[in-house]
Amino acid sequence: MMAAVPAGAPAGLDARPVYELRNVTKVFPKRNVHALDRVDLTLTQGSFASVIGASGCGKSTLLKIMAGLLPPSSGSVRLAGSQVSGPRRDIGMMFQQATLFPWRTTMENVVLPIEIRDGKAAANAKHDAAAALLELVGLKDFANAFPNELSGGMAQRAAICRMLITEPAVLLLDEPFSALDELTRDFMNMEMQRICMACNATSFLVTHSIQEAVILSDVVYVMSPRPGRFVEAVAVDLPRPRTLDMITTPRFGALVDRIRNRLDRGAFL
């Protein structure tokens, strides 16, 4: 049976639930795959949660359901009090690839979600807000540059701005920095923490990296495959803001070990 998963509200934060999944199950009848089994998840305002698990454990399915790209077979998916039944502007998403469009300047890429939802005039009206976001991520001078002038890390910063421009209630991060080299990745993770704290964002990260999950998260959900379910929620009690130095502390090591043990067992259950 599934271990009882406590809703991870980090101490000291406003514990208002933003995103709630109750008993979410997903079955693909055609392929006879039981992708998700009774997943419960609560994201509270300003918290950062991660899900970690081996490839094929249902992480992507979970994220697609949370993004409104895929309907659950059963269970309830509620964001800010209303059922998620499709893509929504209050869901911000980021992928492994920045996917900036080369014929648009950085600024035009950032306001693209507004242009799609509200038209060009509304997008133009958002240029000031976009400029503020670009400044927040350190791309102020690249607003009018084209994406082929940006490095991989810079492109992902622009993608962060594009995700934030609609002022989403929740950020869904699908291995956002895993295509970057390790040095850039560490740096971008620290940037992500800074940006999330600055915006008091509620974030949900899917990752393969235990270290990345621990350094960023308040709670790490360990997922096991076939069917995909949470086997444990590990609360990370390291103080914020986190720094890369913490990676060498015994507490960090203990958390990593604990997650790794859960993953190993989960994979062979």
Question: Whats the size of the chain, residue-wise?
Answer: 269
By beta-carbon proximity to another protein, the closer residue of 28 and 101 is: 101
Instruction: Choose which of 2, 3, 116, 122 interacts with another protein (CB under 8 A).
Output: 116
By beta-carbon proximity to another protein, the closer residue of 88 and 127 is: 88
Whether the Cβ atoms of residue 13 and residue 46 lie closer than 8 Å to each other: yes
By beta-carbon proximity to another protein, the closer residue of 93 and 195 is: 93
DSSP 31-64: TTEEEEEEEEEEEETT-EEEEE--TTSSHHHHHH
Q: Interaction with another protein in 43-82: which residues (CB under 8 A)?
A: 67-69
By beta-carbon proximity to another protein, the closer residue of 201 and 233 is: 201
Whether the Cβ atoms of residue 158 and residue 100 lie closer than 8 Å to each other: yes
Q: Which two tokens stand for residue 65?
A: 């359901």
Stretch that binds another protein, among 46-54, 114-122, 196-204, 232-240 (CB under 8 A): 114-122
Whether the Cβ atoms of residue 176 and residue 100 lie closer than 8 Å to each other: no
Stretch that binds another protein, among 75-83, 109-117, 182-190, 200-208 (CB under 8 A): 109-117
Rounded Cα distance between 74 and 76, Å, is: 7
Cβ 68 to another protein shortest distance, Å: 8
Rounded Cα distance between 107 and 158, Å, is: 8
Q: Interaction with another protein in 117-176: which residues (CB under 8 A)?
A: 117, 146-148
Instruction: Choose which of 102, 182, 183, 269 interacts with another protein (CB under 8 A).
Output: 102
